[in-house]
Structure 1
Amino acid sequence: MTTDKRLIVAAANLLDAGGEEAVTLRAVGHAAGVSHNAPYKHFANRSALLAAVATVSFSDLAEAMAAIRGSPRTPLEKLTAILDLFIDYSREHPARYRLLFNNPETAAAGGELKIKALETFDHFRSIVQECQQAGGLPDAPSETLASLIFATAHGLLAIESNGQLHPEKGLSSVKASMEILLALLTPAKM
């Protein structure tokens, strides 16, 4: 494994273990087993290193989503599986999830990071479009509908991560809430 890849893996592990504040170039160098100056030879600054972590993480998500898209499941089962993927990812890697979906620097980034983020969304949009073509979701612009479903899922995950998802407010879980949303979006059969 190349030094830059070792640094990205070490940064991702530190992020998962201690949040963004745990990711310093010095700590990453130490965790990767290289000199404390090595990260500076590969990344201009901490933001560049976190952008590299986000790029690899989006790439991993896109790969998992591509596998779901290529599976023999029904379109609605694929959509549910991708929503489950996001739910699981947000719980298993909360700091990395926040880096990907709740960080203004990540959202404003261009280059390879933007390409990988858009690739991830395109998988999601394609599955929403498959659901529409199968009659399981309303006929609306697929980008808009995908964005609405995507935003709802991420909003619910943010509420959950903040400890504000309460059954007394009518939201028992992210999964159950998304199932209700998808059921509401399913066109009524005459």
Structure 2
Amino acid sequence: MPRYLTDKDIADFRAELCRVATERFARYGYDGVTMRQLAEALGCSPKTPYRYFRDKADILSTVRAQAFARFAETLEAAGASATSPIDRMRRVGGAYMRFAAEHPHAYRIMFEIDQPIDGSNADLARESDRAHRLITRQSEELAGAGLIDVDPELFGWSLWAASHGVVMLQKAGMLQHGPDQRALAEFLGMTMMRGAAKVKK
């Protein structure tokens, strides 16, 4: 007679499956991972993962949503104690760099996996938008304080692009003999701030 699974059993298995899937997707990409491989890594039958997720795409969407949620929580916590819009920008920027360094698998599946972020997975769409809105909100605060004179949404996206570029240079080993990545990211941010303060709409 099969053992009855409690809610905790189900939650624990899903969490472990997501942990293994995050690592595998980050290392091998979406096409390099199969449901059978995930089952083998978990020591269960090939059909077991299908009891918890529809398919491989569903697992990827779920782990990406979880990664974006942790990412947004990290940035929100960093900016919560800021004393000014510029201080918030610096704190959030520093947290961005730390998250990328400390959670490389999560960072990769957020930004290096080719999977559309659309309405097909509500959790993924919500959590990725949460991260975007946080960065845009910072720019709106800078504009509201008269510190930048450009479109705040474009400025927020530009800050994000600059931060991501620094992370990717670091991951590629290009900063090994260059500046510290956090120092470079802050330099870019402050240089963009000075430029945006002088531009007239």
The interval holding the TM-score normalised by the smaller chain is 0.7 to 0.9
**How do 1:30-49 and structure 2 match up within 5 A?**
30-32=40-42, 34-49=44-59
Structure number, greater radius of gyration: 2
Bigger Cα displacement from structure 2, 98-107 vs 5-14? 5-14
Indicate if the aligned counterparts of 1:15 and 1:96 stay in contact, CA closer than 8 A.
Answer: no
> When the two structures are superposed, what TM-score results if normalisation uses the length of structure 2?
0.75
Q: 1:1-190 alignment to 2 at 5 Å?
A: 1=8, 2=11, 3-14=13-24, 18=27, 20=29, 24-32=34-42, 34-107=44-117, 110-112=120-122, 113-136=124-147, 138-165=148-175, 167=177, 171-184=178-191, 185-186=193-194, 187=197
The SS at the match of 2:115 is helix
**CA separation of 1:110 and 1:139: change in aligned 2, threshold 3 A:** farther
What TM-score results when the alignment is normalised by the length of structure 1? 0.79
- Partner Cα distance (2:109, 2:23) in 1: 13
Q: Which runs of 5+ in 2 are unaligned?
A: 1-7
Please give the root-mean-square deviation of Cα atoms over the aligned residues, in Å: 2.7
Greater mean alpha carbon deviation, residues 78-87 or residues 144-153: 78-87
